[in-house]
Amino acid sequence: MEHQHESKSSPLSASSNLLHVEPHDSKHEEEHREGFLSEIFKFSLIALVIVLPVRLFIAQPFIVSGASMEATFSTGQYLIVDQLTYHLDDPKHGDVIVFRYPKDPSKFFIKRIIGIPGDTVDIKGNVVTITNEAHPEGVVLTEDYILKMDPTTTLTEVLGTDEYFVMGDNRNASSDSRMWGVLQRDNIIGRAFLRLFPFNKINILPGAFNTDTEFMSSSK
Q: What is the pLDDT of residues 188-219, one digit of tens each?
A: 999 999 999 999 999 999 998 865 444 445 44
What was the pLDDT predicted at 117? 97
Any bridge partners for residue 166, and if so which? Answer: 113
Q: Average pLDDT, whole number, for the chain?
A: 81
pLDDT, tens digit (0-9, with 9 covering 90-100), for 56-90: 557 789 999 999 999 999 999 999 999 999 999 99
On the question of pLDDT at 54 being above 60, the answer is no
pTM here?
0.73
CB < 8 Å & 24+ apart, contacts of 100-109: 100/187, 100/189, 101/187, 102/180, 102/181, 102/183, 102/184, 102/187, 103/180, 105/187, 108/62, 108/189, 109/68, 109/166, 109/175, 109/176
Look at the alpha carbons of 144, 158, 138, 191 in this order and tell me if their dihedral is positive or negative: negative
pLDDT, tens digit (0-9, with 9 covering 90-100), for 16-32: 444 444 455 565 566 65
Residue 177 DSSP SS3: helix
Distance CA 100, CA 108 (A): 5
Contact present, 146 and 182 (Cβ < 8 Å):
no
Catalytic residue annotation? 68, 111
Q: For the chain, list the domains and their CATH numbers.
A: 60-219 (2.10.109.10)
What was the pLDDT predicted at 151? 86
